Amino acid sequence: MDISVDCVVFGFDEDELKVLLIEQKQPDGKSAIKLQKAVPGDLVDENESLDQAAQRILLELTSLKGIYLKQFHAFGDPDRVSGLKDRDWLRSFRTHPERRVITIGYYSLVKMDDFNPQAASFAAKAQWVDVYKIPSLAFDHNNIVDQALQVLRHELMADHIGFELLPEKFTLSQLQKLYEIILDKKLDKRNFRKNIMRTDTVTPLEEKQSGVYHKPAQLFKVKRPRKTT
Amino acid sequence: MDISVDCVVFGFDEDELKVLLIEQKQPDGKSAIKLQKAVPGDLVDENESLDQAAQRILLELTSLKGIYLKQFHAFGDPDRVSGLKDRDWLRSFRTHPERRVITIGYYSLVKMDDFNPQAASFAAKAQWVDVYKIPSLAFDHNNIVDQALQVLRHELMADHIGFELLPEKFTLSQLQKLYEIILDKKLDKRNFRKNIMRTDTVTPLEEKQSGVYHKPAQLFKVKRPRKTT
DNA sequence: ACAAAAGTGTTGGAGATACACCCATGA
DNA sequence: TCATGGGTGTATCTCCAACACTTTTGT
């Protein structure tokens, strides 16, 4: 049996919660394979831990280190790879195409700001897709993304990890919008601010927004160093 | 690489929260191997899902079906099997002793009442151990048990799964004691009862305790059918 | 009658919710 | 000066914590 790791990478662009999807790689020489979109993932190497494998995948794809990354579930149905297109792809791409693959799901939070500069280098193979408009994906990846989103919602409330998706400097309105989009419901502005302040994870900078067409907002940064798994 | 499933089986005996431990099997013919205690587990078969593997292990060991069972974490450090004794055991017992093994951790809740009748058949190889007095275990099983306990505490509060550890009929005092032992802190009797009643998961039976040396307690049963994963 | 656990309500404080107006800026 | 989002406080209610005495049974 083979073990792989799949990473559901979340990003946020002021307006939408996004997931990073790749096109499956085109096997050399063959071109008759129908490619599908998928979540980035790879087989675990002989000498790396699961966490390391997830980091490696993320690093190869985004050139970013020290990103929030967390294991959330193992997917091991014998028929999780059952689609015809999935099997075609495996046959032309894997050294052991018939081997069963069990995958460990990770989810990851990246600041799209840090990310975009690098985008050109892999733009052809990776793209951000609105989490609420995900197309049909390879293997059982739709299921994996769904579960990742559930876990993200839960951990957002429990551990206030939302900052991981925002730039270093952010306004409370941006933060609130992030919460609203992830949780998919509206929040009260005053109560939201009280709550965030009470968690004591955020400090105001000596700096305000500029160049906006309305009263400029106070900028904040995260207080405590953030966890990286 | 091989995949195994390990089950941390919790039980409750009115007084202590217990974990089911087995002695590692003695390989035929060889007797120089030092055996250690471990959590029950086995390699995943070619055609079963992870959940099925966990159920199979539990069934073989306890003859019980329909038990609460939940995946909680994958353990995949390349050196999670590093002890000398662990390697000795693998060498004499596994067909591919040097293969790396990644294990998926499950935890399970059983009613020790249902369980005890069968005990004789495997008493030699399995035993209940107080979760707060666990000896040194094989592989990384101490770590696995610790994490299972953390998850159990969390899910007890979130989903009120405590009933799974009690007999069909139970008193509120038993239930409270269970919570106190799992959470490792005392609870207020009146507040506890209010809380449980508010969850609306429990109904009184037309029956009371008997044969006790004090005021007999009302017996309750679970209201909603319990989940089995 | 006594020992042992069962059962039962109230009060005070903290946290959650609901809600509306003035402010600073760029156009 | 106007349009736009930024920023702020209070009243109410619900939830949680603290706390002590009476009841029923077996011995």
In this structure, the strands spanning B37-38 and B101-109 are unpaired
User: C10 C1' – B195 CA distance, angstroms?
Assistant: 17
Kindly list the residues from chain B whose CB atom is less than 8 angstroms away from the CB atom of residue A74. 50, 71, 74, 104
Checking if the pLDDT of A55 tops 80, the result is yes
Query: Which CATH number is B168-222 given?
Result: 1.10.10.10
Q: Is the pLDDT of residue A121 over 80?
A: no
CA B2 to CA A24: how far, in whole Å?
26
> Tell me, in Å, how far CA of A206 is from C1' of D2?
29
Contact present, A104 and A3 (Cβ < 8 Å): yes
Which sequence spans correspond to the domains of chain A? Answer: 2-159, 168-222
Whether CB of A66 is under 7 Å from strand D: the answer is: no
Taking the C-alpha atoms of residue B166 and residue B153, their distance in angstroms, rounded to an integer, is: 16
More confident residue, A27 or B202: B202
pLDDT band at A79 (very low <50, low <70, confident <90, very high): confident
Considering only residues A61 and B226, tell me which one the structure prediction assigns the higher pLDDT. Answer: A61
Cα–Cα distance list, B197 to A69, B153, B171, B190, B201 (Å) = 39, 20, 13, 11, 7
**Dihedral, CA atoms, A181, A182, A186, A190, nearest 10 degrees?**
-100
* Total-model pTM: 0.91
Phi-psi category of A29—alpha, beta or left, where left has phi over 0 and alpha has psi -120 to 50? left
Whether A221 and A205 have beta carbons less than 8 Å apart is answered as yes
**CATH class assigned to B2-159:** alpha beta
- The answer to whether the B2-159 and B168-222 domains have the same CATH topology is no
Q: Determine which of A58-72, A132-146, A190-204, B187-201 has the lowest per-residue pLDDT on average.
A: A58-72
- Mean pLDDT score, B207-220: 93
B50, B55, B99, B101: best mutation site toward chain A, by most A Cβ within 10 Å? B50
What Cα–Cα distance (Å) separates residue B64 from each residue in A153, B4, B69, B112?
35, 21, 12, 11
Mean pLDDT across B120-144: 85
Average confidence (pLDDT) over B204-209: 93
Q: Which residue is nearest to nucleotide D4 (CA to C1')?
A: A214
Q: Secondary structure of chain B: what % helix, strand, coil (to 5)?
A: 35, 25, 40
Separation in Å: D8 C1' and A218 CA = 14
Residue B182 pLDDT level (bands cut at 50, 70, 90): very high
Q: Does the CB of A175 sit below 7 A from strand D?
A: no
A204 in Cβ contact with A222 (< 8 Å) = no
Interface touch B2/A1, C-beta < 8 Å: yes
Could B49 and A73 be called an inter-chain contact, meaning their C-beta atoms sit closer than 8 Å? no
- With the C-alpha atoms ordered A159, A162, A163, A169, is the resulting torsion angle positive or negative? negative
pLDDT at B44: 96
What is residue A125's predicted lDDT score, i.e. its pLDDT?
74
Question: What average pLDDT score do residues B86-108 get?
Answer: 91
Token output for B199: 């969850």
Structure tokens at B143: 């770590």
Strand D reaches within 7 A of the A1 CB: no
The 10 Å Cβ neighbour count of residue A175 is 20
Confidence of residue B228 (pLDDT cuts 50, 70, 90): low
Predicted local confidence at residue B32, as pLDDT: 62
Are B169 and B158 in contact by the 8 Å Cβ rule? The answer is: no
* Cα A145 to Cα A19: distance, rounded to the nearest angstrom: 8
| Mean pLDDT of the B153-175 span | 94
Alpha carbon distance B159, B229 (integer Å): 13
What gap in Å lies between CA B49 and CA B86, rounded to an integer? 26
Nearest in space to A187 (alpha carbons), one of A201, A199, A202, A172:
A172
In this structure, the strands spanning B101-109 and B2-12 are: parallel
B/e letters for B13-48, b = 16+ CB within 10 Å, e = fewer, are eeeebbbbbbebeebeeeeebebbbbbbbbbbeeeb
User: Element (H or E) spanning B84, and its range?
Assistant: helix B84-93
Is the minimum distance from the CB of A218 to strand D below 7 Å? yes
The residue written with tokens 């089911």 in the block is: B20
The fraction of chain A above a pLDDT of 90, given in percent, is 69
In angstroms, the CA B37 to CA B166 distance is: 26
- Mean pLDDT rounded to a whole number for chain B: 89
Q: Which residues of B touch A47 (CB under 8 A)?
A: 78
Please, what is the end-to-end C-alpha distance for chain B in angstroms? Answer: 27
- Tell me the sheet residues that pair with A74: A104
CB A102 within 8 A of CB A41: no
